[in-house]
Structure 1
C-alpha cells in the first residue's frame, strides 16, 4: 500500500512516511492507494467478529505483507480490548453505535490507540523520538493523551481552546503528565488547528524534530475509524434492510472514514452528516456552495469546527463531484435549543441518556428516515459517554449522570497546562523549550 497527496496524486509515499509525516509538503492530505475492494462474502460473514478481528482483517487487506501477520494480530488486539456495540432503540429501525467503551469514553479512542500501536511498531526500528502535535475541540485530546501516554519514543503536545472544552475533557488533557503536555490556547479550535498545520510546514522545525500528528490530518487516525462501521453493519445485517449511518460531524474525519469502507465494499446505503450551528457542510450539500468560516461555540463543543480539514477528503472520495457527494450524503444541522429538546425526547421515548453530540446524530437519522420514508436500519454514532458532559446533561435532563470510575478518578487531579495566545510563534517558542 502507498499513500498519495490530494494535491499531488502522481507521487506516493510508504506507510511509515505517511504515518510519521502526517501532512505532505504540498499541504494536501494523504490518501491510500490502491484502496482494496472486499467481496460480498467478507461482509456477509462478519456477524460474529469482534472489533479487533475486523481491525486485523481490514488492516491485512490494506497493508498486505508489509506488516507481518503476527505483528498485525498483536497490534490490533492491543489497540482494541473493548467493543463497539449497537444498541437498538427501535429494533430493525433505529440503533445507536456506542463508541465510548474505550479508556477516554469517546470514539477517538479507536483511532488514537491504533495509531499509538502502529507507531510503536515502526519506531522500535529506530531510536529517534517522535513529537506528536494535536489540536482538539474536546475528545481527540483525551483519546490521544491516554492512547500515547508512556508510549516509548513518543512525546505528545495537545493544543485546546481555553474555555471551550468540558471540565472532564480538560482533565483528560491536562492531568497525565509524563510524555504528555497540554497547551491552553486563547482562541478557537480552528486557531489551534491552524497552529498545528503551520508547524508541519515549518521547514526549520521539521528539520530539527520528527513531527507527526494524531489529528484526523493523519490518515492513520481515519483508517481504524472505518472498522467500527463494519462492526456495526455485522450487528444489524440480519434485519435484511439497507443500512444508513448518521455521523455527528465536526472536522469530518469520522464520516470520511465511513466513506472509505463503503468504497472498500461495505454496503452502506446512505450517510447523514449531522452538525450543530457549524453547518458549512450541510449548507454545501443543500446548495453546492462551500463557504467555511469562523467556528461558532455550541453545547456540542467537539463539533465546533468552522473550516473542516477533512472536507477535501470527503470530496476526493466522491471524485470531487458535488452531484455524487449529494447523492450519497444528506446534511442536517441543529441549534442548541433543538439539541436540548432532542436529548429530552430521546430520554423520554427510549430511556436513553445521550450527550449533545450523540443526540444530534440520533435526530439526524430520525429526520432522514422520516423525510425519505425508507424501510432501512438507521444507525446513529454515539461519539462520547454523557458523563463527559455531566453538568450540561444533568441540567438538561434534570437527573444525575453516573461517572465511570476511569473518568471519576481525574476529577481531583491538578491541572497542568501552558497557556498561550493563538499565535504560532508563541506556541513554537514554548514548544521548543520542552524538547
Structure 2
C-alpha cells in the first residue's frame, strides 16, 4: 500500500511507515495513492460475510500484501473482539447505528484497537515507541485500553481540563502502568496544537519514537471503514437504494471513513456532516471561507473542535472522485436544540446522549420521503450520565465497564498548554 503526504505529494511511504510516522513532513496527512474498487458483484459477496471476515477483506484491499491475509485476520479478530454494531429502529425510516458496544463504550474502540494491533504486529525489532495523542472525550479511553500493558509502548494522552465528562475521565485516567494522562489548562485545540508541535520537533520525534493515535493515523481510519459495510449489510435491499448516513463530527475522521467506504463502491446516497456550535465546516460549506473561531464548550464535548484535522482528507476524496462538495449535506445544532432532541428521542423510546442526538436532529430534519436514514450512535449514554439524567429527569444505569472504575483514583498530571513543560514529560 502506497500513501502520499497531502502537503508534499513527493513524499510517498508504505503502510508500515505511515502508521509509524503518523504524520508526514510539514504535518501532512497520509492518503492512499490508489483507492481500491469493489465491484457490485464483489460487494454482494462481501455483504454476506460475517463482520470479522468482511473487515479483513476490506482492509486487505488497502494493505495489499504488506501483512498476509491470514495474519491480518487474526489481528482484526483481536481488535474487534467485542459486540459488533447494532441497528436500533427509531421510526419507520430512521434507525440508530450503535457503535458503542466495545470496552470503552465508544466507536473509537474500532480504530484504536486495530491501530494497536498493527503497531504491535509491525514492531518486529521490539523497538520502544511513545504514543502521544489528544482527546476531546472518547479517543483517550479507546487508545489507553487498546495499548494498556503492551510491551515497549508508552502512551501519553492530553485532554482539556474540566471539558470532558467525569465518567469519560474515569475510564482512562485510572489505568496507570504504561498509560500517562495529562489534563491541559485549555481547549482540545490547545491539546492538538501541543501534539503537532511535538511532531515538528524532529530530534524529539526520533529520540522517543513518537507516534500518534489520533484519527490522523491512517490505520484508525481504515478500521472505521469496516462498520459502514456492516451498516449496509443490516438494512434491507430496498432501504439500500437511498441510504443517508448522519455523522456527528469532531475531528471528522468518522466522516472521512464513510466517504472512503463510498469511494470503495459502497453505494451510500449521501452523508450529513453534523456539528455542534463549533461550526467551522458548516460555515465553510456555506461561505467557502475557512474561519475557525475560538472553541466553545458544549454538552457534546467530543465535537468541541474548531480546527478539524481530517478536513483536508475529505477535500482530497471529493477532488479525487470528482464529487461536488455542494452535495455534502451539513448542519450545526445548539445545546438548547440538542437537549430538546434528547427529550424527543426519549418519547420515542430511545435514550440518547448529545452527539447521537445532534446526528438524529439533522437527519430527521433533512431526510426526504423516499430515503432511509441511519444516524451514528458514537457513545453510550452512560458516559454522559449527569447531563442526560438532568435533561430527562431519569436515572441511567451504569454498565460494568464504567461501574468497575468509578471509584478508582485519577492518576492524571496537570499542566498549562506549554510545549517545554510537555517536552520534559516526553523525555522523562
Instruction: Give the TM-score of the pair, scaled to structure 1.
Output: 0.95
C-alpha separation in 2, matches of 1:36 and 1:258: 15
Asked whether the 8 Å contact 2:7–2:25 carries over to 1, the reply is no
1:377 paired with 2:372, answer yes
Q: CA deviation digits over 1:170-194, x for unaligned, max 9?
A: 1122101111000110000000000
Alignment match, 2:208: 209
Alignment match, 1:365: 363
1:426 paired with 2:421, answer yes
C-alpha separation in 2, matches of 1:139 and 1:419: 19
The alignment partner of 1:319 has SS state of helix
The alignment partner of 1:110 has SS state of helix
Q: CA deviation digits over 1:6-40, x for unaligned, max 9?
A: 01223310111100110102221001121100111
Q: 1:321: how far off? A: 10
Instruction: Give the TM-score of the pair, scaled to structure 2.
Output: 0.97
Alignment match, 2:399: 404
The alignment partner of 1:45 has SS state of helix
- Cα distance change, pair 294–132 in 1 and its aligned pair in 2 (3 A): same
Q: 1:261: how far off? A: 1.1
Alignment match, 1:331: 330
Q: 1:320: how far off? A: 8.1
Instruction: Write out aligned runs for 1:6-85 (5 A).
Output: 6-82=6-82, 83-85=84-86
1:417 paired with 2:412, answer yes
Number of aligned residue pairs: give it: 426
Q: 1:103: how far off? A: 0.2
Asked whether the 8 Å contact 1:130–1:211 carries over to 2, the reply is yes
C-alpha separation in 2, matches of 1:411 and 1:76: 30
Alignment match, 1:131: 130
C-alpha separation in 2, matches of 1:401 and 1:206: 43
5+ residue gaps, structure 2, are none
The alignment partner of 1:429 has SS state of helix
C-alpha separation in 1, matches of 2:320 and 2:333: 26
Alignment match, 2:147: 148
C-alpha separation in 2, matches of 1:151 and 1:375: 49
Say which of 385, 393, 399 aligns to 1:390: 385
Alignment match, 2:96: 96
Q: 1:127: how far off? A: 2.2
C-alpha separation in 2, matches of 1:72 and 1:237: 30
5+ residue gaps, structure 1, are none
Asked whether the 8 Å contact 2:113–2:143 carries over to 1, the reply is yes
C-alpha separation in 2, matches of 1:225 and 1:170: 23
1:288 paired with 2:288, answer yes
